């Protein structure tokens, strides 16, 4: 980059819209404390560097760009005299990080009026004290509000997730409590029936055969396969008929339990062959207690496993026991978030997972990615619920060149074209007052683009809205812990 000093003209400065209201003395001070430079085609300054100067274009063409992932995205290109860039927030001092928020380059030899950041800040405070106070209040107030509302949004999301998790935990926990109470009754009945059998006219070898049948029955219950409703009804009728034919009362009450355990009439034939007809009813009822206790223990096992699964999902979602930056499996993060949000989805919303399980793990901030998934899933569910509470949410992962793609597709009404470019802006929301803060997508953008050096975009039409997150497969060369605003 070549810089060439040039003389400063008060008349030229006064012809710019930025300085046209200044008096001759002020223009003279600008020329005295600033200078004019000509830059050859190439960079003028780079995003992220310390903001040292304030630049005003006098002649030429400038291009402003921002870093998005591995690419420089052009923001604007102009030849308008008087446009400015650089350290224009220097009047805020050390209350904000004084770095260039964009990159500036010129495409042909261009002249700039240049002020040092310190000089620009001093002049602003001396000439426009009221304006500086207003600008400070606007900038710092907006930042404070964004932080406060962002914190509020996180608390609301946490409250919603807590309510959903409590609801999800309540079902298996209540089932386990009910099954435990029923199990206690069945075990007491088994003890009573065992006492009757022991006092009855059973031979030793008969008791041994019954105990053997009991062991095989318990093993059979654990291996039972579900039947179709028609198959189950037919087997219940067959078992009821067998019990009635053998003089065992209440066969209609016993047969559903036997069917659920995967037992059929051939099992009853084994029991009948082991005892005489006078003791058959007692033996069948004693064995029915075995079947019921095994089924109840299976129910308790399933319920407690569900509780454990939910707790593991909550730990995975919160990442409380993980390092903030690590190599993570995106599918694990997606599954935990979907499970945590399952209570948020009504019965009319179907979730489809279209995962490419061959994708590698990626370096990431898992806890913050879970926040992104939460925001995008919540938006999709809200969009579908705003119509008839029906729809399909499809979560897809795929390889996209050197990025991992995570796509959230919903069948809601879509994002209107006239607001599509604004949905990632802070505080912009289409939800009714009190229901949305307008920071969910802004936070998602910052996490994906600024922190992970990835990309976030939306494609939408009625019935097909897709939010696409692209994450690099390898860690960026730069320090990913620094998030530029």
**What's the confidence (pLDDT) of residue 484?**
36
The tokens 């692209």 sit on which residue? 470
**What's the confidence (pLDDT) of residue 293?**
81
Q: Is 215 exposed, middle or buried (0-12, 13-18, 19+ CB in 10 A)?
A: exposed
Q: Rounded to the nearest 5°, which phi and psi values hold at 121? A: -65, -45
Dihedral in degrees, nearest 10, Cα atoms 211, 212, 217, 219: 120
Q: How far is 318 from 333, CA to CA, in rounded Å? A: 10
Q: Rounded to the nearest 5°, which phi and psi values hold at 338? A: -60, -40
User: Pairing between strand 62-68 and 35-39?
Assistant: unpaired
**What's the confidence (pLDDT) of residue 478?**
41
Q: Which parts of the chain sit beneath pLDDT 70?
A: 1-5, 68-71, 93, 95-96, 132-133, 135-172, 174-175, 189-204, 206, 306, 308-323, 343, 386-387, 420-422, 424-440, 476-485
Q: What angle do CA 149, 154, 157 make, to 5 degrees?
A: 125
Residue 53 contacts residue 433 (beta carbons within 8 Å): no
Q: How far is 180 from 171, CA to CA, in rounded Å? A: 14
Residue 64 contacts residue 85 (beta carbons within 8 Å): yes
Residue-wise over 55-68: b if at least 16 C-beta within 10 A, else e? Answer: bbbbebbbbbbbbb
**What's the confidence (pLDDT) of residue 165?**
61
Q: Is 288 exposed, middle or buried (0-12, 13-18, 19+ CB in 10 A)?
A: buried
Instruction: Give the other-Cβ count within 10 Å of 269's Cβ.
Output: 11
**What's the confidence (pLDDT) of residue 399?**
94
Measured in residues, the chain has a length of 485
For the whole model, what pTM was predicted? 0.46
Cα–Cα distances (Å) from 484 to 81, 98, 290, 449, in that order, read: 29, 11, 65, 10
Residue 345 structure tokens: 């989805």
Residue 270 contacts residue 280 (beta carbons within 8 Å): no
| Nearest residue to 375 via CA among 99, 76, 156 | 156
Query: Hey, which residues does 409 pair with through a beta bridge?
Result: 394, 466
3-state secondary structure string across the chain: CCEEEECCCHHHHHCCCCCCCCCHHHHHHHHHHCEEEEECCEEEECCCCECCEEEEEEECCEEEEEEECCEEEEEEEECCCCCEEECCCHHHHHHCCCECCCEEEECCCEEEEEEEHHHHHHHHHHHCHHHHHHHHHHHHHHHHHHHHHHHHHHHHHHHHHHHHHHHHHHHHHHHHHHHHHHHHHHHHHHHHHHHHHHHCCCCHHHHHHHHHHHHHHHHHHHCCCCCCHHHHHHHHHHHHHHHHHCCCCCHHHHHHHHHHCCCCHHHHHHHHHHCCCCCHHHHHHHHHHHHHHHHHHHHHHHHHHHHHHHHHHHHHHHCCCCCCCEEECHHHHHHHHHHHCHHHCCCCEEEEEECCCCCCCEEECHHHHHHHHHHHHHHHHHHHHCCCCCEEEEEEEEEECCEEEEEEEECCCCCCHHHHHHCCCCCCCCCCCCCCCCCHHHHHHHHHHHHCCCEEEEEEECCEEEEEEEEECCCCCCCCCCCCC
| Nearest residue to 393 via CA among 319, 337, 452 | 337
Residue 410 contacts residue 462 (beta carbons within 8 Å): no
Q: How far is 20 from 14, CA to CA, in rounded Å? A: 5
Residue 394 contacts residue 361 (beta carbons within 8 Å): no
């Amino acid at each position: 980059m070549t810089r060439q000093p040039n003389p400063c003209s008060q008349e030229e400065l006064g012809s710019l819209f930025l300085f046209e209201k200044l008096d001759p003395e002020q223009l003279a001070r600008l020329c005295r404390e600033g200078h004019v430079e000509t830059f050859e085609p190439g960079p003028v300054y780079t995003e992220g560097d310390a903001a040292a100067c304030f630049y005003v274009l006098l002649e030429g063409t400038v291009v402003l760009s921002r870093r998005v992932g591995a690419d420089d995205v052009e923001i604007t290109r102009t030849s308008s005299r008087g446009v400015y860039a650089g350290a224009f927030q220097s009047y805020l001092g050390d209350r904000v990080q004084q770095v260039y928020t964009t990159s500036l380059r010129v495409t042909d030899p261009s002249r700039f009026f240049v002020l040092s950041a310190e000089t620009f800040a001093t002049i602003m405070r001396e000439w426009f004290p009221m304006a500086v106070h207003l600008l400070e209040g606007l900038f710092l107030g907006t930042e404070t509000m964004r932080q406060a509302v962002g914190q509020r949004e996180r608390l609301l999301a946490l409250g919603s997730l807590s309510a959903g998790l409590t609801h999800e935990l309540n079902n298996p926990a209540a089932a386990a409590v009910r099954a435990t109470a029923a199990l206690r009754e069945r075990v007491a009945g088994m003890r009573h029936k065992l006492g009757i059998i022991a006092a009855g006219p059973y031979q030793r070898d008969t008791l041994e055969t019954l105990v053997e049948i009991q062991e095989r029955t318990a093993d059979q219950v654990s291996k039972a396969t579900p039947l179709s409703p028609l198959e189950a009804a037919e087997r219940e009728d067959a078992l009821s008929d067998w019990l009635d034919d053998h003089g065992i009362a209440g066969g209609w009450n016993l047969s559903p339990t036997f069917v659920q355990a995967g037992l059929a009439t051939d099992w009853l034939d084994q029991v009948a062959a082991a005892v005489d007809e006078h003791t058959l009813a007692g033996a069948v009822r004693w064995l029915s207690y075995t079947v019921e206790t095994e089924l109840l223990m299976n129910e308790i096992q399933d319920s407690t496993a569900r509780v454990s699964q939910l707790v593991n999902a909550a730990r995975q979602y919160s990442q409380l026991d993980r390092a903030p930056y690590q190599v993570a499996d995106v599918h694990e993060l997606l599954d935990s978030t979907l499970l945590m949000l399952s209570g948020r989805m009504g019965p009319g919303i179907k979730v489809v997972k279209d995962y490419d399980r061959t994708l590698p793990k990626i370096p990431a901030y898992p806890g913050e990615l879970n926040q992104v998934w939460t925001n995008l899933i919540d938006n999709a569910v809200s969009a579908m619920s705003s119509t008839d509470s029906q729809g399909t949410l499809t979560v897809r992962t795929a390889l996209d060149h050197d990025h991992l793609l995570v796509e959230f597709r919903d069948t809601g009404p879509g994002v209107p074209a006239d607001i599509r470019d604004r949905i990632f802006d802070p505080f912009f929301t289409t939800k009714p007052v009190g229901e949305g803060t307008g920071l969910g997508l802004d936070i998602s953008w910052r996490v994906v683009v600024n922190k992970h050096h990835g990309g976030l975009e939306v494609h939408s039409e009625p019935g097909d809205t897709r939010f696409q997150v692209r994450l690099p497969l390898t860690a960026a060369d730069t320090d990913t812990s620094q998030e530029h605003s």
